[in-house]
Amino acid sequence: MECWSNGCTIMDNEKKTVLELRDISKIYKTRSSFFGPGGEQVVALNRISLTIYKGEIFGLVGESGSGKTTAGRLIVGLENPKEGEIYLNSTEISGLKGRALKEYRRKVQMIFQDPYQSLNPQLSIYESVAEPLIIHKIGGGVERLERVIQTLKTVGLSPPQEFLYRYPHQLSGGQRQRVAIARAMVLGPEFVVADEPTSMLDASYSAQIFNILLNVRDKLKVTILFITHNLAAARYLCDRVGVIYKGNLMELGPADEVIQNPKHPYTQALIDAIPKFGHCGEIREYKTFLRPQRKASEGVGCPFFKRCRKADETRCRIDVPPLRAVEDSHYAACFFAEPGHEKRPESDACLLGI
Amino acid sequence: MALLEVKKLSVGYNTKKGFLKAVEAVSFSLDEGRSLGFVGESGCGKTTLGMALMGLLPPNGHVTDGQIIFEGEDLLEKSEDEMRKFRWRKISMIFQAAMNALNPVKRVQDQIAEAILTHNPNLETKEALRRVEKLFQLVGLPEGRMRDYPHQYSGGMKQRAIIAMALSCNPRLIIADEPTTALDVIVQHQILEETRDLQKELDLSIIFISHDISIVADVCDTIGIMYAGQLVEYGSREEVFDDPMHYYTRALISSYPTLTGEKRELLPIPGESPNLIEPPLGCRFCDRCHASGDSCSIGPPEWVDITPTHKALCGLCLK
């Protein structure tokens, strides 16, 4: 397929790693409460490894509770992983302190989900966007103003002078989110985590935000981790996607490839769940989602076993399928994804016994 | 005969800055067992329309004109007491974010039984609970969870409980306002599928309100596109999707990413929707419309009939 956007494909030979996650795990413990003892462990991320290349938009796709937001928070350093390392340009980040940590925070920025909550209502747009510059002691009064104006232009708030002294309540949701993007971009970051930046917005504003992200990537050469539950948005925006389920990376590959030719039953279930009408052409139905769910013992076997219609009673119940290459740069963590292991979903009649 | 017929309904709110015309001259009809979806961005008046149909406008909201004829009776002529008997037994509503409005200190079964008992005072509690059990089966909730509290439910289960509550008095019409917005894709898909099945099984009529055109198209036979308080296009979902006539509808569809087919550039709709306290004289979309000409801003556009079931409020759509 031809690519319509400039620079949306990165040739293999120019791939340069910006960010690397190595075997990242994050476990939350529930607090003891009035009613119960607490101390239960919730695995938010389970040994995730990822490499993100310079200038790409990488999509992390999954349902709520899958751990995708946790991954974003670990990357920007809002939380620390229990195990594993995160590298930015080959520097491990957990050891950073003082000035180096502050510099890391300048280089790695985050765009939050809800622009109705992420902007301080008492600050004007200028104050909001200039605040990061003040914190990092960049520029003087005039230079700051210029940078703010420039950034507002980049995110499509024009003429910028009209927005500088307005307050968030005077803006629409789409405009607020653009201010939030400007706030992340004003420091000239290398890496930006965008956590579901359009899920609180109307569908008609989403396209604006997508195009702005594509635009800042091309213009400012930032690398973006785009966290979403919407596969169609991921297809539009991302070069590569990773599909995550209950903290486990299930599938990883070029966005178009993963969406047109998904290998993991969970990815297939996600595609089945998208409303079909209005998408041009026929969409294949995979029917891999199992209802009602199977019984399974916790902690062993494939994470998707309970919900997977394709699953094998003996193998998938006990063994965890590793993430393996099924094609060039397309990986899936499923025993049936590998060539020669295609298996038809069990018929409903077989499932009644489960 | 149509179950519901709305004629030139206009609704507005008194605000500090003046009278806000939230819904203007909206007409449509809905037959028994059919589903109708309203699509539009926030502030286009779709929720106000739903609330007006239920007779639940906030104190500063008024219906300024029009008729709402349900089973031959004009709902606007009914007193509040009469409406109260009417509501839930004939028309019920799934409110936006209703799943967060379940009472946290009451068991789910008691909350649904309460709705049944309020509207059927002669019923015994035991019988109401038996009905709750049936409703649980209907919406796919395990009966073993009837005695749970809302916090023990997942988001999808809460939404199912809300749907059960809306069905509790066997209404003829359900108005669903963004019923799946806070849910995950997979859960949303299940709920939409079940809504379709329930509609067939119970021969219900549904009015579905959402900002997401693809969700509405998944559930509804007929689609109304709303913009700045007006209905701007109305037709069967095939007509509206395959042959959109109003430039707003076209813009809405081309701003939506697809899963298959050629990857095309998304065209966002420029600008913001107009102020409804002093709405523009001419077409309300003309400031954001790439096809608009001088004639568009002079006077209000007229409805153009494209087919007997498909019409658009745009002077240019056939040119």
Positions of E strands within B47-156: 61-70, 73-74, 91-94
Confidence of residue A6 (pLDDT cuts 50, 70, 90): very low
Task: Spell B91-104 as b/e; 16+ CB within 10 A means b.
Answer: bbbbbbebbeebee
pLDDT of residue B283: 93
Distance from CA of B114 to the nearest CA of A (A): 27
Distance of CA A20 to the CA centre of its chain: 14
Tens of pLDDT, residue by residue over A67-85, are 898 999 999 999 999 999 9
What's the distance, CA B31 to chain centroid? Answer: 15
In angstroms, the CA B57 to CA B55 distance is 6
Give yes or no for a contact between B39 and B223, defined as CB atoms under 8 angstroms apart.
yes
**Would an 8 Å CB–CB cutoff place A259 in contact with chain B?**
yes
Domains present along chain A, CATH in parentheses: 2-352 (3.40.50.300)
Instruction: Tell me the β-bridge partners of B65.
Output: B10
Q: Do B272 and A291 touch (CB under 8 A)?
A: no
Global pTM reads 0.87
Give the Cβ contact number of residue B201 at 10 Å.
10
CB pairs under 8 A between A and B: 119
Confirm if A66 and A39 have CB atoms less than 8 A apart.
no
| A89, A29 Cβ separation under 8 angstroms | no
Cβ–Cβ contact B212 with A under 8 A: yes
Q: What is the ipTM of this complex?
A: 0.84
Q: Mind telling me how many Å the CA of B247 is from chain A's nearest CA?
A: 13
Nearest to B259 among A172, A204, A232 (CB): A232
Sign of the four-CA dihedral B142, B148, B154, B160: positive
Distance CA A130, CA A274 (A): 40
Put simply, whether A42 touches B (Cβ < 8 Å) is no
Q: What is the DSSP letter of B140?
A: T
pLDDT along chain B (319 residues), means of 10: 93 94 95 94 91 93 95 92 89 87 92 92 93 91 91 88 92 92 83 89 93 88 95 94 92 85 83 89 91 88 94 86
Q: Do A256 and B269 touch (CB under 8 A)?
A: no
Q: Which of B46, B178, B185 to mutate to test the interface with A (most CBs of A within 10 A)?
A: B185
| Nearest residue of B to residue A175, measured between CA atoms | B272
Touching check for A256 and chain B: CB below 8 Å? Answer: yes
pLDDT tens-digit readout, A20-48: 999 999 998 877 766 666 677 888 999 99
Helix (H) or strand (E) holding B84: helix B80-86
Burial of A275 (0-12, 13-18, 19+ CB in 10 A): buried
